[in-house]
């Protein structure tokens, strides 16, 4: 064991010395989030961090440039390679550090290190609300803010009906002898009856009370209409949604369209596969012409809904981490891996392979994966509530209710003011004193004294 460790140490040391004495390595890469991204005049990303860690272990200097034709590398009909693989073959670059898939064709023309990422094929689609807990589906037509708004409107209307019933002399002519019909409890019961479209008596007699009642009935009818319309829409969409968790489920349905990047390695996998399920998937994509030009376009279509985008799982995981309305299927097929490419016979490959294995064993590769694939689902709540009605959708209805309640209270005060003026003329008193006395009698501050005075007069 000690001899083995000594040999490994000497190998790593000799590799470090060899690379340290060599020229500056030319590294080609390609812009692809989160592997390589621009940050001002510099680059950042998973692959940039990876090559930085490798250079520290092996002691080499390097310079990075983007591939000229923005391609990974494929052979044309004349047998010439383009992209990063082409630059390695032509000698324009010493290494290609990017999410390069290891394939049999590429291994014939370049050497590739041990993989630094393992992945496979999967698919993403829009996350349906019914795929989660539906215990409170009756509340789903309205957002949480909307339900809070309805509750506030209910409380304010009940309070307004109570105040109008107390203030208006038509509703409560004589506080000392007449019974007050619209108590606070009955006011809330009355507007609750309006919400159930049944009503609950007695009904208001004054113009102010009838106005408040009519506005609340209009509010309740329109609110219920919006609720049931949105509820029906949600039920209709849920009845069309199906559970898709595998490629077989995807191939056995025609409700959701699906596709992949045109002329990519994923398309070639389904085209050349002998598996009947995968061949049906390829036939569907050919028949529907559901190919996309790029991964970004496929992710956008999946976000819009009714489309499943098929691609490499590691790229799809990044999309799910960035866009929380998406979900990735658990099934992963056609396992593949990403490696660093170098010219045939390059002495760098073995040393880089050992260094990558050391980074994997120390957990550094896992750390880089967590760093660049970290979830940033800041808008998840808004995405979930996209189909629910919000207060701003019905702000006109709430404004109508508020205006009606305000006018109703104003009319009740005018009714009481008119009565106070008439009483002031008859009793030759100040209108303000009569109005203050009436308000005191109706809201109880002088109610006890008035009853006591009435009782004393009766005794006398």
Tell me the per-residue pLDDT of 187-214, one tens digit each, with 9 for 90 and over: 888 888 888 877 677 778 888 888 988 9
Residues 291, 367 within the same domain = no
- Cα dist from 264 to 53, 101, 228, 267, whole Å: 31, 11, 46, 5
Compute the radius of gyration of the chain from its Cα atoms: 38
Q: Considering only CA atoms, which of 223, 276, 278 is closest in space to residue 400?
A: 223
DSSP letter for 291, please: -
**Cβ neighbours for 432, distance < 8 A, ≥ 6 positions apart:** none
Binding residues: 99, 101, 106, 265-266, 312
Overall number of domains in the chain:
2
Residues 16, 107 within the same domain = yes
Domain-embedded: residue 95: yes
pLDDT tens figures, 409-457 = 899 888 888 777 777 776 667 677 767 777 777 777 544 444 444 444 4
Domain-embedded: residue 262: yes
Alpha-carbon span 269 to 186, nearest angstrom: 71
**Cβ neighbours for 62, distance < 8 A, ≥ 6 positions apart:** 24, 25, 26, 27, 51, 55, 95
- Cα dist from 241 to 125, 127, 234, 236, 393, whole Å: 12, 11, 11, 9, 26
Range of the domain at 286: 125-133+240-334+377-384
CB 167 within 8 A of CB 414: no
Task: State residue 343's pLDDT score.
Answer: 95
Alpha-carbon span 40 to 35, nearest angstrom: 16
Split at pLDDT 50, 70, 90, the class of 180 is low
> What are the backbone dihedrals phi and psi of residue 416, each rounded to the nearest 5 degrees, phi first?
-70, -35
- Give the CATH number, domain containing residue 305: 3.40.190.10
Handedness of CA 361, 365, 371, 377 (dihedral sign): negative
Domain-embedded: residue 192: no
Residues 129, 257 within the same domain = yes
Task: State residue 239's pLDDT score.
Answer: 46
pLDDT at 85 over 90: yes
Domain-embedded: residue 326: yes
Q: Considering only CA atoms, which of 126, 455, 445 is closest in space to residue 307?
A: 126
pLDDT tens figures, 356-409 = 999 999 999 999 998 998 876 644 444 444 567 788 888 889 999 999 999 988
Task: State residue 449's pLDDT score.
Answer: 43
pLDDT tens figures, 259-276 = 998 877 788 889 989 999
Residues 129, 277 within the same domain = yes
Of 85-94, 157-166, 375-384, give the lowest mean pLDDT range: 375-384
Q: Which two tokens stand for residue 123?
A: 């698919």
Query: How many Å separate Cα 185 from the centre of its chain?
Result: 41
Query: Final residue of a domain: which of 384, 417, 446?
Result: 384
Residues 68, 114 within the same domain = yes
Domain-embedded: residue 269: yes
Beta bridge partners of 38: 43
DSSP letter for 170, please: T
Domain-embedded: residue 402: no
Mean pLDDT of 42-60: 93
Alpha-carbon span 294 to 299, nearest angstrom: 9
Q: End-to-end CA distance of the chain, in Å?
A: 119
Residues 319, 361 within the same domain = no
Query: Final residue of a domain: which of 372, 397, 425?
Result: 372
DSSP letter for 22, please: S
Binding residues for L-glutamate: 99, 101, 106, 265-266, 312
Task: State residue 443's pLDDT score.
Answer: 74
pLDDT tens figures, 308-344 = 999 989 989 989 888 888 889 989 998 889 999 999 9
pLDDT at 124 over 50: yes
**Cβ neighbours for 103, distance < 8 A, ≥ 6 positions apart:** 265
Q: Which two tokens stand for residue 54?
A: 């490798």
Handedness of CA 185, 191, 193, 196 (dihedral sign): negative
Q: Which two tokens stand for residue 453?
A: 């005075």
Residues 315, 342 within the same domain = no
Residues in the chain: 460
Alpha-carbon span 401 to 217, nearest angstrom: 10
Alpha-carbon span 33 to 324, nearest angstrom: 17
E-strand ranges in 6-160 read 25-29, 37-39, 42-44, 62-66, 95-101, 110-112, 117-126
Residues 254, 361 within the same domain = no
Residues 10, 129 within the same domain = no
Residues 253, 348 within the same domain = no
Domain-embedded: residue 303: yes
Residues 87, 65 within the same domain = yes
CB 164 within 8 A of CB 409: yes
- Cα dist from 314 to 33, 34, 138, 337, 373, whole Å: 11, 10, 37, 10, 9
Domain-embedded: residue 171: no
pLDDT at 244 over 90: no
Residues 264, 344 within the same domain = no
Split at pLDDT 50, 70, 90, the class of 238 is low
SS3 of 348, please? helix
Give the residue, 354 or 414, on which the prediction is more confident: 354
SS3 of 384, please? helix
Q: Establish how many alpha carbons lie within 13 A of residue 326's alpha carbon, considering only the half-sphere containing its beta carbon.
A: 27
Task: State residue 193's pLDDT score.
Answer: 85
């Amino acid at each position: 064991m000690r001899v083995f460790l000594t040999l490994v140490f000497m190998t790593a040391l000799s590799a470090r010395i060899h690379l340290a004495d060599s020229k500056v390595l030319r590294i080609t890469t390609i812009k692809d989030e989160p592997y390589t991204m621009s940050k001002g005049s510099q680059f950042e990303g998973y692959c940039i961090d990876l090559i930085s860690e490798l250079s520290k272990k092996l002691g080499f200097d390097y310079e990075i440039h983007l591939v000229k034709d923005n391609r990974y590398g494929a052979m044309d009909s004349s047998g010439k390679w383009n992209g990063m693989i082409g630059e390695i073959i032509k000698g324009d670059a010493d290494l290609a550090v990017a999410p390069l898939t290891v394939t049999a064709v590429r291994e014939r023309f370049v050497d590739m290190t041990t993989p630094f990422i393992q992945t496979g094929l999967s698919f993403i689609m829009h996350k349906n609300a019914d795929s989660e807990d539906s215990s409170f589906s009756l509340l789903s037509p309205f957002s949480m803010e909307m339900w809070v708004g309805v509750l506030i409107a209910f409380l304010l209307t009940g309070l307004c009906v109570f105040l109008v019933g107390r203030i208006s002399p038509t509703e409560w002519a004589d506080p000392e002898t007449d019974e007050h019909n619209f108590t606070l409890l009955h006011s809330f019961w009355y507007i609750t009856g309006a919400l159930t479209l049944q009503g609950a008596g007695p009904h208001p007699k004054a113009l102010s009370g009838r106005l408040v009642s009519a506005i609340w009935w209009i509010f309740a009818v329109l609110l219920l209409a919006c609720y049931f319309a949105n509820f029906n829409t949600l039920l209709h969409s849920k009845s069309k949604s199906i559970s898709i968790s595998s490629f077989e489920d995807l191939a056995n349905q025609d409700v959701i369209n699906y596709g992949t990047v045109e002329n990519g390695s994923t398309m070639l996998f389904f085209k050349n596969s002998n598996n009947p399920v995968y061949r049906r998937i390829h036939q569907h994509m050919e028949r529907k012409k559901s190919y996309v030009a790029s991964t970004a376009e496929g992710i956008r279509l999946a976000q819009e809904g009714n489309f499943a985008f098929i691609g490499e799982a590691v790229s799809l995981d990044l999309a799910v981490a960035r866009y929380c309305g998406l979900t990735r299927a658990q099934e992963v097929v056609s396992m593949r891996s990403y490696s660093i490419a170098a010219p045939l016979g390059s002495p760098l490959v073995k040393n880089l392979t050992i260094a990558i294995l050391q980074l994997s064993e120390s957990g550094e590769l896992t750390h880089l994966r967590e760093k660049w694939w970290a979830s940033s689902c800041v808008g998840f709540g808004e995405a979930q509530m996209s189909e629910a009605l919000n207060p701003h959708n019905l702000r006109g209805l709430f404004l109508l209710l508020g205006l009606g309640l305000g006018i109703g209270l104003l009319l009740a005060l005018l009714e009481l003011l008119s009565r106070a003026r008439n009483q002031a003329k008859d009793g030759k008193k100040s209108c303000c004193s009569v109005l203050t006395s009436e308000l005191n009698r109706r809201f109880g501050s002088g109610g006890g004294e008035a009853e006591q005075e009435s009782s004393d007069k009766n005794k006398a």
